[in-house]
Amino acid sequence: MTKILELKGITVKFPGVVALNKLDMDIHEGEVHVLIGENGAGKSSLIKVLCGIYFPDEGSMLIQGKPYMPQAPIDAINAGIRVVHQEFNLLPYLSIAENIFFEKLPRKSGFVDFKKLYSDTDKLLKMVGLNASARTKVEMLGVAQMQLVEIAKALSTDSKILLLDEPTATLTDKDIELLFATIRRLKKSGITIIYISHRLKELFEIGDRITVLKNGEKVGDRLITEVDIPGLVQMMVGKSMHEEFQFRDNVKLGEEVLRVENLKRRESKYYNSFSVKAGEIVGIAGLVGSGRTENMRAIFGADRKESGEIYLHGEKIKIKSPQDAVKQGISLITEDRKSQGLVLDMPCSLNMTLTDPKKISTRGFINRQQERDVAEKLVKDLEVKTPSINQLVRNFSGGNQQKVVIAKWLFCGGKVFIFDEPTRGIDVGAKYEIYNLMWELAESGKGLVMISSDMPELLGLCHRILVFSDGEIVGEVQRKDFDQEKILHLAFKNYVEDKQ
């Protein structure tokens, strides 16, 4: 196959960190080339190099045999390279057509040529397989349709190479099928796809070749038919896949640390009760929308509850707000770490200490040396990969951002940790590290609650699993009785009964 993109010895350095180290890589025309690796492996840095955001310290690149070294994103666009990011960049109140051609609306006699605008948009929508009117406002679209609009927008500049960054992160199985059909259609038309994802299983459906990065270096380049999932995991993290879930049956369970009795949310008709022991990891299973997150947020004081009592170490406590929960020692690691768990434009040190600034204050003023000492210890203890505690957390990988969220709750002395989808959007290696942190908390006598849509994760880590269905805890399954089919049957229980 003809090489469309060649990287030779690409090196990117930051103070104390080598993001990419002498990377060689070839991309063939019309292929789906999969790029995987742990968070921090160099994937994001490579994307930024290709798009002209980072300028490499060493190395060279060729596109279709011609030298390529973009100085700015516009150079990448002109060369035919576009990125479709995981987080959409669309204007909801404008039409699909206006979003796609926002920066270069066709004009006639000084006015927007809407006839051409809609005609050009229809051609792109047909190319990506989106059955929608060019006049439809983006706010009326579903997530999968927005994804296709982003791809159409990228194709509007005659792109030769599309970089898809975690394109299925927020899609349902049906939506993923739609996206994959679009990718196959683009591939047939000669467009090259660089596909980045943490979901290893889907790579075998859509990929032709795969490159594995680790610590900024290429550790493998294979045809997709030459590898399997355990082999990829081994290449990425240097450990076998079966090591990912290591249930620690040697962790001793202590006295009850949290008890919830007859908790009822205003939007629900059900009363829920459960308890957690010191050293225990209690899983929460259920379908999306089953009330898993909402019930935990009500315990934390982030959502209103109509009634119910909460006990900590046998003593009844009152929680009317998240501040009350924090003071009592209840911590919530939210599902959306970026918007609810972190202040992205603040440095690592401030994010780690913002839960209890009084601990590092003297006479009402922050003691900066104390703050630095605390942050450096937490960075070391949790093995957060950062060149400096002053680095903005916006620039961290997903796994390291999650560690910062956990660090801030450790700093304020949490007794109960509620993890909501703790490993969503992070790679296999970072998951392993998060699991280790959770077990360390359990071993130190904390009580843990884990909400997860990843059934193998729940089955691999938890002492028991509570199953939610339409807002109600409909079952509790002990570890010795774990069975995926049984848990899924419980998860559908109230929905099935409502239809009968």
pLDDT above 50 for 359: yes
Query: Distance between CA 467 and CA 488 in Å, rounded?
Result: 9
The two beta strands, 111-112 and 107-108, are: antiparallel
Query: Distance between CA 17 and CA 40 in Å, rounded?
Result: 10
CB-based contact 148:130 (threshold 8 Å): yes
pLDDT above 60 for 243: no
Closest of 166, 190, 180, 202 to residue 31, by C-alpha: 190
- Stretch 478-493: mean pLDDT, rounded? 86
pLDDT of residue 21: 93
Residue with the bigger pLDDT between 336 and 2: it is 2
* Identity of the residue numbered 293: T
pLDDT above 50 for 500: no
How would residue 18 be classed by pLDDT, with cut points 50, 70 and 90? confident
Query: Distance between CA 361 and CA 359 in Å, rounded?
Result: 6
- Stretch 182-186: mean pLDDT, rounded? 90
pLDDT above 80 for 244: no
pLDDT above 90 for 418: yes
Query: Distance between CA 351 and CA 286 in Å, rounded?
Result: 31
Query: Distance between CA 142 and CA 92 in Å, rounded?
Result: 11
Query: Distance between CA 294 and CA 305 in Å, rounded?
Result: 10
pLDDT of residue 241: 46
Closest of 212, 237, 243, 242 to residue 226, by C-alpha: 212
pLDDT of residue 53: 92
CB-based contact 443:246 (threshold 8 Å): no
> Can you spell out the DSSP letters for 374-430?
HHHHHHHHHT---S-TTSBGGGS-HHHHHHHHHHHHHHTT-SEEEEESTTTT--HHH
* Identity of the residue numbered 486: K
pLDDT digits (tens, 9 = 90+) for 209-240: 999 998 889 998 999 999 888 788 778 766 55
CB-based contact 447:258 (threshold 8 Å): yes
3-state secondary structure of 154: helix
Query: Distance between CA 495 and CA 224 in Å, rounded?
Result: 40
pLDDT of residue 119: 93
How would residue 168 be classed by pLDDT, with cut points 50, 70 and 90? confident
Closest of 37, 452, 29, 430 to residue 203, by C-alpha: 37
Choice among 10-19, 57-66, 135-144, 488-497 with the minimum mean pLDDT: 488-497
pLDDT above 80 for 68: yes
Residue with the bigger pLDDT between 316 and 339: it is 316
- Phi and psi at 3, nearest 5°, equal -80, 125
3-state secondary structure of 451: strand
> Can you spell out the DSSP letters for 181-221?
HHHHHHHHTT-EEEEE-S-HHHHHHH-SEEEEEETTEEEEE
Which tokens is 119 given?
A: 């005609």
Largest pairwise CA distance in the chain: 78
pLDDT digits (tens, 9 = 90+) for 437-467: 899 999 999 999 999 888 888 999 999 999 9
pLDDT above 60 for 318: yes
pLDDT digits (tens, 9 = 90+) for 80-107: 999 888 777 889 899 999 999 988 888 9
Which tokens is 126 given?
A: 């047909």
- Phi and psi at 319, nearest 5°, equal -130, 110
- Stretch 366-373: mean pLDDT, rounded? 89
- Contact partners, residue 480, CB within 8 Å, separation at least 6: none
Query: Distance between CA 172 and CA 145 in Å, rounded?
Result: 12
pLDDT above 90 for 141: no
How would residue 360 be classed by pLDDT, with cut points 50, 70 and 90? confident
Give me the percent of the chain exceeding a pLDDT of 70. 95
Average pLDDT over the chain reads: 88
- Calculate the dihedral angle through the C-alpha atoms of 310, 312, 316, 319, rounding to the nearest 10 degrees: -50
pLDDT of residue 192: 95
- Phi and psi at 29, nearest 5°, equal -65, 130
pLDDT of residue 130: 87
Q: What is the pTM of this model?
A: 0.59
pLDDT of residue 237: 65
> What is the number of other CB atoms lying within 10 angstroms of the CB of residue 304?
11
Half-sphere exposure in the Cβ direction for 146 (13 Å, CA): 21
Which tokens is 205 given?
A: 């459906």
Query: Distance between CA 199 and CA 47 in Å, rounded?
Result: 18
How would residue 170 be classed by pLDDT, with cut points 50, 70 and 90? low
- Phi and psi at 407, nearest 5°, equal -60, -40
pLDDT above 90 for 157: no
Choice among 321-325, 350-354, 490-494 with the minimum mean pLDDT: 490-494
Question: How far apart, in Å, are the Cα atoms of 352 and each of 348, 383, 411, 453?
Answer: 6, 14, 7, 27
